[in-house]
Chain A
Amino acid sequence: MADRTAGKTGEERGAKGRHYREVPFRGGGFAPRHIPYVGVAVFVVLIALLEAGARSGVISNLTMPPPSAVFVALVELAQSGLLWKHLQVSLTRLAVGAAMGAGAGIAIGILIGLFSYIRAGLLPLVAALFPIPKIALLPLFVIWFGIHEWSKFALIAFGTFTPTVVATFGAVDNVDRSLIRMGQSFGLPWLSIVRKIVLPGALPGILSGLRVSLAIAIILLVAAEMLGAEYGIGAYILEAGSLYDLERLFAGVTILSLMGLGVSWLIGRIEAMLLKWR
């Protein structure tokens, strides 16, 4: 463009009397960026709004306790020493149940991904089990495994198992076939292909599946603790709920949310550690 003249405004006349306009930028967006602190800010603003609403009387104490009262309930729980008791019991149940369910789920998922016969045999079964609300089976588990810990482990394990299976075999299916071809073309033994190509290739998918599975595990933890549990966050929430003690109810819910954040953070750490190559 020989007739371009310098200028700051968007539209001007060039030497030959032609208009020229700067090309407008229209390429932005659609690319997630990491923006720190906004997540925290959302929490802070929400809590501040609730607090202000409760203090000014816009929100009645009967519908929603002020966050400060929930905080006081949490502090009381911590001071009484019961918080640690509840947490310890709940986290143990969560850890044992989720470890069993996710472990079995990953193993079965890999087998389904690798062997056509196992896939043909188990896929319909998994599809049949997946939509069952596991909570409905709690009484059954109580009969099978007793009212104490094992029925709770079983419920959490069963609930994490199905989503983990589905995520895992999907991840194995999605491993780049050309990499497997490459392994075969270099004469790698079957086991090496599985260990060095299929499993590392499936790992990202398995880990993002675990995010979902472990959130489900927390939901089921509460459900399990609503039946025949003396301690545990679920039992604490149930008790508070039956007394309409909203402060303590919300204190319990807050703890659950924090557990969810903790699990998510943990998986984030694991991903950062194992998936450095991405």
Chain B
Amino acid sequence: MDLRLEGISHRYDGNAVLEDISLDIPEGQIVSIIGPSGCGKSTLLRIAGGLERPTTGRVSMLGDPPPGCLNPLTYIFQHFALLPWRSVAGNISLVLEDHALGTAERREIIADVLARTRLADFADALPRQLSGGMKQRVAIARALAVSPAVMLMDEPLSALDSQTRELLMDDLIALWLRAPFTGIYVTHNLAEAVRLGHRIVVLSRRPGRIREIVEIDRPLHERGIADADLEEKQRHLWTLMRDEARAADMELQDG
């Protein structure tokens, strides 16, 4: 299933936040979105998943979601959004309970996604007992449980320390290599954007417009940490971003 954004513009009480964003996310690809703070990345992601209505423009799904898909557009949030009163397994069960699944089937799905995120031993733990990295893996497991067609990720690693981030990035890549998913990956981190994205969309400062789309041909499994090619792309992205970021920073000081 592809996702298509057409002419998305958005304003909050008169303030333009996004302007005329059109973007195709073909099945099996991950699109990274980067842009200066406040340029509307999170807003765009909320619009893409139907959590917010754009002022103009529309989002459409092309084709059928994969068989067994319970929630085509599924988010992974920056701050995990786990229910603190439910165990790890309970948090995953939450998103399955309203679907017509047998108890055995539900248990099977939970066991499967916990195994895929290496959390099988923590099924009964409460969120407060988990480290940040584990919490985000629970959130990833929860997202996998509904077999999404598109994963919408809003800075999923930015609340984690840099080592954990590295490990979780490896996890995401491994998950993608095993079963390529479609995704939008919003981040501030250029290295992450380059590591995971097939295409990288650079937004201008507010109101966010598409400034450039950078393609990265190298397959995900061939992207190492110290890769001259990728570093070149990353440098290019930074030159694109720098002026925007600086201007955005000034804007906040003026406002």
A→B interface (CB under 8 Å): 178-179, 181-189, 192, 196-197, 200-201, 275, 277-278
Contact = CB atoms under 8 A, between A and B. Distances in A.
A179 B83 contact: yes
Contacts of B49: 185
Instruction: Identify whether the interface residues of B are mostly helix, strand, loop, or mixed.
Output: loop
A196 B146 CA distance: 18
Given A186-B74, A187-B71, A181 B51 contact: yes
A273 to B, nearest CB: 12
Given A183-B94, A188-B94, A277-B127, 13 more contacts: A179-B83, A182-B77, A185-B49, A185-B51, A185-B73, A185-B75, A186-B71, A186-B74, A186-B94, A188-B98, A275-B85, A277-B85, A278-B84
Contacts of B71: 185-187
5 contacts: A181-B51, A182-B75, A186-B74, A188-B94, A200-B85
A179 B85 contact: no
B128 A181 contact: no
B83 A186 contact: no
Contact of B146 (A183, A184, A186, A278): A186
Contact of B95 (A186, A201, A277, A278): A186
B128 A179 contact: no
Nearest to A192: B98
B126 to A, nearest CB: 5
A181 B85 contact: no
Contacts, number: 50
A179 B94 contact: no
B95 A200 contact: no
B146 A277 contact: no
A185 B76 CA distance: 10
Given A188-B95, A188-B98, A178 B83 contact: no
A189 B75 contact: no
Contacts of B86: 277
A197 B51 contact: no
Interface in B120-175: 126-128, 142, 146
B79 A178 contact: yes
Interface in B214-242: none
A192 B81 contact: no
Nearest to B99: A187
Contacts of A189: 98
A190 to B, nearest CB: 11
A9 to B, nearest CB: 39
A235 to B, nearest CB: 43
- Which of B70, B75, B128 has the largest number of chain A CB atoms within 10 A? B75
Nearest to A185: B75
Contacts of A181: 51, 77, 81
A205 B183 CA distance: 38
B97 interface: yes
Nearest to A180: B81
B95 to A, nearest CB: 4
A197 B95 CA distance: 12
A188 B51 CA distance: 13
Nearest to A182: B81
Nearest to B96: A186
B83 to A, nearest CB: 6
